[in-house]
């Protein structure tokens, strides 16, 4: 997985998080599959069908916090992640 400080794409845009569809108990196989970039100040109350319930690993950038909910529309239980 990239480190929190490494979440800077080649074009210089800062990312707050990177979400991945696949994970593994083996470190060198973590953070694989499809990935979704989360920009600063993003607010996404509904995930598309492709991503809903599919995220298995994530990296959160420095000075960022990612809040996820168990149900669509920011309903249900929430969990906060940070670097």
Q: Which of 7-11, 23-27, 40-44, 55-59 has the lowest mean pLDDT?
A: 7-11
Residue 51 in any domain: the answer is yes
- Of residues 34 and 9, more confidence is placed in 34
**Beta-bridge partners for 2:** none
Residue 26 in any domain: the answer is yes
Q: Is pTM, for the whole model, over 0.75?
A: yes
Residue 48 in any domain: the answer is yes
Residue 12 in any domain: the answer is no
pLDDT at 67 > cutoff 90: yes
79 φ, ψ to 5°? -145, 135
Residue 76 in any domain: the answer is yes
- Count the domains in the chain: 1
Structural domain harbouring 57: 17-82
Render the chain in DSSP notation, one character per residue.
Answer: ---GGG---TT----SEEEEEE--SSGGG-SEEEEEEE-TT---SS--TTTTTT--EEEE-TT-EEEEEEETTTEEEEEEEE-
């Amino acid at each position: 997985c990239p480190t929190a400080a490494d979440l800077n794409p080649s074009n210089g845009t800062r990312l707050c998080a990177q979400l991945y569809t696949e994970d593994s108990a083996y470190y060198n196989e973590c953070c694989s599959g499809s990935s979704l970039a989360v920009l600063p100040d993003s607010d996404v109350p509904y995930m598309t069908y492709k991503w809903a319930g599919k995220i298995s690993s994530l990296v959160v950038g420095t000075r960022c916090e990612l809040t996820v909910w168990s149900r669509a529309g920011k309903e249900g239980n929430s969990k906060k992640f940070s670097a």
